[in-house]
Amino acid sequence: MKKKLSILALVLFYMFCVNKSKDSDNKKVSIKHTGPVAIFKWGTESSENVGVYDPQKYSVQEIKNTYALWFPYFGYHLETDAYFESIEDLENLNIKKLTREYTVKKALLNRKVVPLPYWEKLKTKRLKELNDEYELYKITMMAYSDPSVLLHNKYSSKCSEYSKALTSKNNGVLLNAWITLTEMRKNDAVSPEKIMEDYTKAYHSKYRLLHARMDLLTYGWLDCAEGPQPTSDDSVIEREFDTIFISVEKKSANVN
């Protein structure tokens, strides 16, 4: 009899653990609400989500626009950049194309989001990042034909080592800055031999000064001006997104 009871206890304990595991995979967060409701579905890397929200407080378009700040399907960073690593790359130098892309993405970011302080602040942050990126890329592109633009902008003093070398009338100053930068890159590179091989080849080419200018703008000026890239905490963003809803049901995504 005791043996049968022990087996029964083990079975019940196993069923409890299985149910508890299922509950942990399908979490539900909710708050009390009376009135009209609507459904919004979205996905993250870890879960599929169904949220119930008050359509009198937020429109579905506002929620979609807010979700786009978190998972920007259109990509708020510019794809038309000013990073050129070869003479052939310079064929992509196109300020008009850069401006067109910036205008489109700025309009997308300017769309109305849910009127909550966190999301308004994030929207402002994203717009600033886009504006700064556009300004920096535009200045860098212009510098290929008019280096003086490097002297009068918000990055000039911070990156004076490069702005002064790139605007110097003395080619020796430009070339000295180039080899100094190359040595710095070599010290940080996985393949320092390749860095020096490329430098030597470029130095002895007929486009030596253009190579020097390109490397200083790409690996010197741009890296200096951009600085360390900020990171965002997805867990905080997810928690803030959940607060938009009356209730949220989360189902763990299948990970292969």
Per residue in 112-162, pLDDT tens? Answer: 999 999 999 999 999 999 999 999 999 999 999 999 999 999 999 999 999
pLDDT of residue 15: 41
Q: Which residue has the higher pLDDT, 26 or 77?
A: 77
Does pLDDT of 226 surpass 80? Answer: yes
The pLDDT confidence band at residue 76, using thresholds 50, 70 and 90, is confident
Which whole-number Å values give the CA distances from 6 to 1, 17, 22, in the listed order?
9, 17, 25
DSSP letter (8 states) at residue 249: E
Q: Could you tell me what percent of the chain has a pLDDT over 70?
A: 84
The pLDDT confidence band at residue 90, using thresholds 50, 70 and 90, is very high
Does pLDDT of 26 surpass 60? Answer: no
At residue 249, φ and ψ (nearest 5 deg) are: -110, 125
Over the chain, what is the mean pLDDT?
Answer: 87
Distance CA 196, CA 200 (A): 6
- With H, G, I as helix, E, B as strand and everything else as coil, classify residue 82: coil
Distance CA 8, CA 12 (A): 6
* Both tokens assigned to 141: 């592109």
* Both tokens assigned to 151: 């002297």
pLDDT of residue 73: 56
Place of tokens 């909550």: 116
Kindly list the domain boundaries of the chain, sorted by start residue.
Answer: 61-145, 149-227
Which whole-number Å values give the CA distances from 156 to 1, 130, 131, 162, in the listed order?
86, 19, 17, 9
pLDDT of residue 70: 87
